[in-house]
């Protein structure tokens, strides 16, 4: 039976995140004022740095791809009832794997291994490496009942320090330059995609395709439906013949794979080599993006664009010395807190609606009996 969605349902879903973002920005401006800074100048630098010209818009939107992929890493696991806090580690593993391909694949001497082929191989390697990193947490969950929140967080640290070792002074990927870094990539995503002179690359298209895949898989395909059933009620899913453990493993592999694509898109777009701490907290920002987008593909895409603006604007404020760029991190924290609060608002609205419907049904039944 088709579920009827009222105008109120749509409004509450759409307006609550918008209000949350608006209130977060107002709180951020109040904080800037309390610090004794010029709010007008700070916000002017913020919006100018993020959206002040066509090139800056392109630079800002270059951050949408990794934010979208890490949001998908959280959302895919969430649909199956799992909490993936490991997108940061998956980001590193994907970036490392893609970087290794970009460094060494062109030197294999195989005529067919041209630039486009190297990029395809790097994308596959990044997805596979991130997927396997996510699969570790999934395996520990289904085999030993290990809490995936704890295991994914701990795997983040393993990935971070693994990267530091690999490009460190005694590491196998160290380039001997005196700085902890790998050799330069032979192939990267060309910059200036759609907007000449900007850092925007084809990775944005890959991110959009990722959102399309997410929608088709979870809302049009049987396997995605099974995962959603597992996420809603694993006991009922098992009784109905759905393999809960297999779906949990697949979801963590897919989630980790998209986390790996985030690292791939970032390292092959904005960087020319594997560097120390190259993530810039994209893995954790992706959680906020997914929550703000309410795990909906369109919502996550818009949320990723918003957080890209926050990142670029905050960097611009910091570079100009108007206020600390960490103020933007505080604004992001306000967004997360208010989005979580908005969930309670939506739940309260849904509860009152159900009570109202139940009362109306009971009144109608009483009226029928009276007749």
Closest by alpha carbon to 95, among 131, 125, 134? 125
| CA 144 remoteness from chain centre | 27
The answer to whether residue 88 is domain-embedded is yes
Q: Which residues of the chain have pLDDT under 70?
A: 1-10, 12, 108-114, 350, 369-371
In-domain check, residue 17: no
| pLDDT the model gives residue 233 | 92
Rounded Cα–Cα distance for residues 79 and 53 (Å): 38
Tokens of 123: 């994308």
Q: What is the reported pLDDT for 2?
A: 46
Contact indicator for 331, 25 with CB cutoff of 8 Å = yes
Global model pTM greater than 0.85: yes
Radius of gyration of the chain (CA): 23
pLDDT at 158: 97
Judge whether 167 lies within some domain: yes
The two three-digit tokens of residue 191, written as one number: 């910059």
Check the CA dihedral 201-202-206-207 and report its sign: positive
Domain extent at residue 103: 63-293
Above pLDDT 70, what percent of the chain? 93
Domain assignment present for residue 288? The answer is: yes
Cα–Cα dist 298/88, whole Å: 23
In whole angstroms, give the CA distance from residue 299 to residue 20: 14
What is the pLDDT, as a whole number, of residue 253? 98
Question: For residue 216, what are the CA distances in angstroms to 146, 169, 222?
Answer: 30, 45, 10
Helical residues (DSSP H) of the chain, grouped into ranges: 7-34, 39-51, 54-61, 64-79, 87-104, 115-144, 148-167, 203-220, 222-232, 234-239, 244-267, 282-292, 297-320, 326-370
The secondary structure of residue 271, as a DSSP letter, is -
Length of the chain: 371
**Residue 166, in any domain of the structure:** yes
Using alpha carbons only, give the angle 263, 319, 269 rounded to the nearest 5 degrees.
25
Q: How far is CA 266 from CA 126, 228, 253, 299, 334, in A?
A: 11, 30, 20, 22, 26
Q: How far is CA 141 from the centre of its chain?
A: 22
Q: What's the number of CA atoms in the CB half-sphere (13 Å) around residue 293?
A: 28
Residue written as token pair 């996550």: 300
> Would you say residue 345 lies in a domain?
no
CA pair distance 8, 348, nearest whole angstrom? 13
Yes or no: say if 260 and 128 are a contact pair by the CB < 8 Å rule. Answer: yes
Q: Is residue 243 part of a domain?
A: yes
In a domain, 1, yes or no: no
For the chain, the domain total comes to 1
């Amino acid at each position: 039976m088709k579920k009827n969605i009222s105008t109120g349902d749509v409004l509450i879903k759409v307006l609550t995140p918008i209000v949350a973002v608006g209130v977060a920005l107002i709180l951020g401006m109040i904080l800037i004022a309390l610090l004794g800074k010029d709010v007008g100048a700070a916000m002017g630098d913020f919006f100018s740095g993020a959206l002040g010209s066509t090139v800056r818009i392109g630079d800002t939107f270059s951050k949408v791809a990794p934010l979208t992929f890490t949001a998908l890493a959280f959302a895919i696991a969430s649909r199956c009832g799992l909490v993936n806090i490991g997108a940061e580690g998956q980001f590193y593993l994907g970036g490392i794997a893609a970087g290794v391909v970009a460094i060494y694949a062109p030197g294999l001497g195989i005529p067919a291994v041209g630039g486009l082929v190297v990029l395809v191989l790097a994308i596959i390697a990044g997805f596979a490496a991130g997927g396997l990193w996510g699969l570790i947490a999934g395996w520990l969950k289904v085999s030993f009942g290990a809490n995936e929140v704890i295991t994914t967080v701990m795997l983040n640290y393993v990935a971070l320090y693994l990267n530091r070792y690999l490009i460190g002074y005694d590491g196998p990927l160290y380039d001997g330059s005196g700085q902890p870094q790998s050799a330069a990539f032979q192939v990267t995503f060309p910059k200036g995609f759609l907007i000449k002179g900007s850092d925007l690359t084809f990775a944005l298209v890959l991110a959009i395709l990722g959102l399309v895949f997410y929608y088709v898989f979870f809302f049009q395909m049987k396997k995605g439906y099974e995962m959603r059933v597992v996420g809603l009620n694993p006991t009922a899913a098992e009784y109905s013949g759905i393999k809960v453990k297999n779906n949990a493993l697949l979801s963590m592999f897919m989630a980790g794979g998209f986390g790996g694509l985030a690292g791939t898109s970032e390292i092959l777009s904005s960087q020319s080599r594997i560097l120390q701490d190259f993530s810039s907290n994209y893995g954790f920002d992706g959680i906020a993006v997914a929550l703000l987008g309410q795990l909906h593909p369109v919502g996550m895409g818009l949320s990723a664009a918003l957080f890209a603006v926050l990142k670029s604007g905050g960097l611009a404020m910091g570079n100009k010395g108007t206020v600390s760029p960490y103020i933007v991190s505080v604004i992001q924290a306000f967004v997360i807190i208010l989005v979580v609060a908005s969930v309670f608002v939506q739940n309260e609205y849904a509860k009152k609606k159900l009570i109202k419907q139940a009362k109306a049904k009971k009144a109608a039944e009483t009226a029928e009996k009276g007749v």
